[in-house]
Amino acid sequence: MLTEPVALMLLLSVAGVVLNIILYRLQSLQMIVSFLVFAAMLALNLQLYGTIGETLVLPVVVFGQAMSFAVSPLAFYFTLMITSITLLTVIFSLESLRGKACTQAYYLWLFLKTFGMLGVVFAADLLTFFLLWELMTWGTFFLMQQTGGESFSPAKKYVVYAVSSSMLLFLGIALIHAWTGSFSFREVAAAFPHMPEGMMLLVVLLMTVGFAVESAMFPLHAWLPESYASTFTSLTSYLSGISTRMGIYGLILLLFGFVGHELADRFQLIGVINLRYIVSIFGALTIIIPTFTALFQHDAKRLVTWHGIGQGGYMILGIFSANALGIAGGIFHIFNYMTYVTLILFSIAAVEYRTGTSNLNKLGGLIKRQPVAFLGLLFGIIGLAGIPPMNGFVSKWFIYKALITEGYPFLAISAIIGTLGTILSVYKLIHNIFLGQLQPEYNEIKEVPFLMQLPIWVLMLAVFATGVFPGPILSLIAEIQSSFGLAPVPYTMTGVDPAAGTLDMLVITTVFIGGLLLAWIVFLLGHKRRHVSQYQNYAAGHFLDESIPYNFNYNFYTGFEHIFNPMKKKVIARTEVAVSSLVEAAGDYLRRIYTGNLATYAMYIMAALVVTSLFLKELI
């Protein structure tokens, strides 16, 4: 059976790679071709909806398994995000990277990465899944070092993490195959509940940790901020928007596709504490620690990438909540996060395009020069902070509500603590870039060209529209939940069913707009206003002009620094010493393996061969 759009989409992304190799160094042709191919892929993706449930089997056989692809509701949801955000990134890059050096391979790696991600979400067997997962991580690695030079070393760090996580995944998949004798998702899912408990726990742990690395879950997040922030900002947005969330895709597949909540709850430790709860605790830590780290960053891109880690925690809390609302919220948050984080990073890229810097201590007052970028960032941060009426609020509301309903007060409060930390750091972001005093050297800059504004406008609309009308996306999510045999979320076009909770975004937005109109009338009641320059300002009787820096942006939250710095000294410094001495001691023991004696090495190789052959016999 052949599903045309799937085959065509995979084929098109491979064609994109090939075309980009042929057109190497012909930058403008590369740009046009890439744009057209990605636009075609988005068009195909929209047709995909009618083919949900169909499968595609390629005549390629590896380990006795033909490569097979299927269109599930979850796959459709993810491909929709992948193709649309890739197209927006390409449109944005057309202008922002025009004429820049070392971008010959930019679109090539973008296509490779897209191919990997599409393959991963379409895959219908574990082997295809793993092969394309590997391809995808290599795509990420090459995208990370597009700017060359200094970006190589953080990218190397990512590869170390990614390869180790792949090994864990591989081991998990090998164990599953050894037990079930199949790679196909359907057969694995059927055989999974009959696995011996110890083996099941091992498989679940291996794969959870493997996916947790890709989704940058605490404490496996250290690779992310620097590697994402050191590449082009358009790629920072692309990578944080969708690439990190492939780990969450893996977790959803593992938890709902194979294990299921009932099984996950079987691994009881003490009382109510089970595996699901432990993962949720790590989810909560993933929210709090990176969000409060973001607060003290001095670089806009790095600040946002720290939030990329933190927001992943909400998805984990939602997905692992075992509640229809919570699961829907977790899955919905993936979409919402993608829209607002790309919006934020595109706006930062627009500023960087004109000023050449994303250093929060050097900017300020740009609202008067780049109002569109300001509006984009404003919509984005309202979404990120989860304030109505933007979409981030809706998915977070689902998660809070689910955690309260299920009786997890401390998980719920950590989600709220994360939101408060987010509000603090995003205000610093928008204040230090756009508000405050305009620096004299940026007096002459202009708004970015139209092609760069277009994705910002589109995303602003998306962030607002899916906030007021979450229904269409929630209907997709309800389908995903039904396809996994879960209770679908009781949604309406503008919120949730009154029987399940109290939320109607349309009413909230309407009342808000009414309130704004009334406030505007009150504003007009007063006498006319007069605009003054930023130098006509209260300065305790002193006179201000261009030569006087009269701005507050360095160390924006000094009070918190007073609170956290002693803690940092006590806790983090001591932990660092403890961990490093542990690693040193372990390394000292490991070092003894390398005796420098050839005979010993030969013995190692023999031993490894024996073990592998024993294991292979088991495997095949």
Restricting to residues 500-539, which ones interact with other proteins according to CB under 8 A?
501-504, 507-508, 511-512, 514-520, 522-523, 525-532, 534, 536-538
Q: How many residues does the chain have?
A: 620
Residues 301 and 358 sit within 8 Å (Cβ to Cβ): yes
- Interacting span for other proteins (CB under 8 A) from 187-195, 238-246, 354-362, 395-403: 395-403
Nearer to other proteins, 300 or 382 (CB): 382
Query: For the packed helices 126-144 and 106-122, what is the interaxial angle rounded to 10 degrees?
Result: 160
Closest approach of Cβ 573 to other proteins, in Å?
20
Q: How many residues bind to other proteins according to rule CB under 8 A?
A: 79
Return the residues of window 538-577 that contact other proteins according to CB under 8 A: 538, 540, 550-553, 556-560, 562-563
* Neighbour count for residue 171 (Cβ, 10 Å): 15
Smallest separation (angstroms) from other proteins to the CB of 440: 13
- For other proteins, the binding residue among 393, 442, 469, 484 (CB under 8 A) is 393
Backbone conformation region of residue 76, classed left if phi is above 0, alpha if psi is from -120 to 50, else beta? alpha
Report whether 237 contacts 341 (CB < 8 A). Answer: yes
Question: Mutual orientation of helices 152-180 and 598-619 as an angle, nearest 10°?
Answer: 50
* Nearer CB in complex with other proteins: 18/516: 516
Which DSSP string do the residues of 72-130 spell out, in sequence order? -HHHHHHHHHHHHHHHHHHHHHHHHTTT-TT-TTHHHHHHHHHHHHHHHHHB-BHHHHH
Backbone phi, psi, residue 66, to 5°: -70, 140
* Min separation Cβ 560 and other proteins, Å: 6
Residues within window 305-334 making contact with other proteins, judged by CB under 8 A: none
State the nearest-atom distance from the C-beta of 46 to other proteins, in Å.
Answer: 33
Cβ atoms within 10 Å of 490's Cβ, excluding its own: 16
The nearest distance, CB 150 to other proteins, in angstroms, is 32
**Closer CB to other proteins, residue 536 or residue 597?**
536
Q: Is the peptide bond before 219 cis (omega within 30 degrees of 0)?
A: yes
Q: How far is the CB of 160 from other proteins (least distance, A)?
A: 35
Q: How far is the CB of 514 from other proteins (least distance, A)?
A: 8
Shortest Å distance, C-beta 537 to other proteins: 5
Options 163, 209, 387, 493; binder of other proteins; rule CB under 8 A: 387
* Residue 368 vs 569, nearer CB to other proteins: 368
Of 186 and 368, CB closest to other proteins:
368
C-beta of 112 vs 463, nearer to other proteins? 463
By beta-carbon proximity to other proteins, the closer residue of 102 and 272 is 272
Dihedral-angle region of residue 128 (phi above 0 means left; psi in -120 to 50 means alpha; beta otherwise): alpha
- The phi, psi pair for 491, rounded to 5°, reads -105, 160
Both tokens assigned to 6: 């799937």
Minimum separation from the CB atom of position 130 to other proteins (A)? 40
The token duo for 151 is: 């970006």
Judged by CB under 8 A, the residue of 350, 382, 448, 452 near other proteins is: 382
Q: Does position 15 bind other proteins by CB under 8 A?
A: no
DSSP single-letter state for residue 184: B
Residue 549: asked if its preceding bond is cis (omega within 30°), the reply is no
Q: In the range 405-464, which residues lie near other proteins by CB under 8 A?
A: 407, 409-410, 412-413, 416-417, 419-421, 423-424, 427, 430-431, 434-438
- Residue 163 or 508 with smaller CB distance to other proteins: 508
> What's the sign of the alpha-carbon dihedral 300, 141, 343, 312?
negative
**Shortest spacing between CB 353 and other proteins, in angstroms:** 22
Q: Tell me which of 186, 368, 570, 574 binds other proteins, using CB under 8 A.
A: 368
Distances in Å between the alpha carbon of 434 and those of 18, 365, 366, 426, 573? 42, 5, 4, 12, 35
Per-residue contact flags (x/-) with other proteins for residues 230 to 269, judged by CB under 8 A: ----------------------------------------
Q: Which of residues 151-210 bind other proteins (CB under 8 A)?
A: none
